[in-house]
């Protein structure tokens, strides 16, 4: 089942065509990455999928209905945790915005924090946590906005490599446990290959989808070599020798 579909979407800023004929789809339960170099229109595409910008041509459908506004939970590179609130206060924020009574919001937040082994930090403040822990909290807060379609924009890029690797594994686990569907916009080829079921490669100006790749490296006899092959293929599609 298609959770979201973009059908021949164009977008311009005035006379400047930024995205051209973008068609892609993400099925329920998938993690799909959109990868491309800087300046190719990834941020504009993020804003279109999030419903922040309206499609000027073509259609964007979520669960078969047009207009994704309010149907996508999205998260940016910066965690945007409120420093004056405790972790619990940050996590219950989406619930209180949705009108959930405080006692019920706390119960739901506590259940979620406990399910992912984060209950020990509920009464701490964001500045007391590591970058990786802050990002975990931000992801759980995003989930409580109530949409199972996640849109992540460079959500792991600010972390050091070891933290990022740990968080990738954690996200794969919660993605399955919470039955999410994820679109990941990233410039990291390694990240896209590790996390994704499929990858769309965005290139050129105006930005266009130049390839769709299915990741099946885990089934290969030599998975690490297969990942290298995918990386070389993506670099070739982007016209790059080094990333």
- The tens-digit pLDDT sequence of the chain (243 residues) is 899 999 999 999 999 999 999 999 999 999 999 999 988 999 999 999 999 999 899 999 999 999 888 899 988 777 789 999 999 999 999 999 889 999 999 999 999 999 888 999 999 999 999 988 998 899 899 998 888 999 999 888 878 888 888 999 999 999 999 999 999 999 899 999 999 999 999 999 999 999 999 999 988 889 999 999 999 999 999 987 654
Per the CB < 8 A criterion, the answer to whether 217 and 223 are in contact is yes
Give the torsion sign (CA, 215, 218, 223, 224). Answer: positive
* Prediction pTM value: 0.90
- Tokens representing residue 170 in the block: 């954690």
CA proximity to 34, closest of 203, 175, 223: 203
């Amino acid at each position: 089942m298609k959770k979201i579909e973009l059908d021949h979407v164009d977008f311009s800023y005035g006379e400047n065509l930024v995205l051209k004929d973008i068609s892609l789809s993400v099925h329920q339960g998938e993690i799909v990455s959109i990868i491309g170099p800087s300046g190719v229109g990834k941020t504009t595409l993020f804003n279109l999928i999030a419903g922040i910008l309206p499609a000027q041509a073509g259609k964007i459908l979520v669960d078969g209905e047009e207009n994704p506004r309010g149907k996508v939970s999205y998260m940016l590179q910066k965690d945007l945790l409120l420093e004056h609130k405790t972790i619990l206060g940050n996590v219950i924020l989406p619930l209180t915005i949705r009108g959930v009574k405080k006692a019920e919001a706390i119960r739901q937040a506590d259940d979620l924090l406990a399910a992912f082994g984060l209950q020990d930090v509920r009464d701490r403040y964001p500045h007391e946590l590591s970058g990786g822990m802050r990002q975990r909290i931000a992801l759980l807060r995003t989930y409580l906005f109530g949409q199972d379609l996640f849109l992540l924009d460079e959500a792991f890029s600010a972390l050091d490599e070891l933290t990022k690797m740990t968080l990738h594994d954690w996200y794969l686990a919660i993605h399955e446990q919470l039955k999410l569907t994820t679109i990941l916009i990233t410039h990291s080829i390694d990240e896209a290959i590790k996390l994704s079921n499929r990858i769309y490669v965005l290139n050129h100006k105006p930005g266009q989808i130049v390839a769709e790749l299915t990741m099946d490296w885990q089934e290969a006899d030599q998975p690490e070599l297969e990942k290298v092959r995918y990386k070389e293929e993506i670099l070739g599609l982007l016209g790059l020798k080094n990333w």
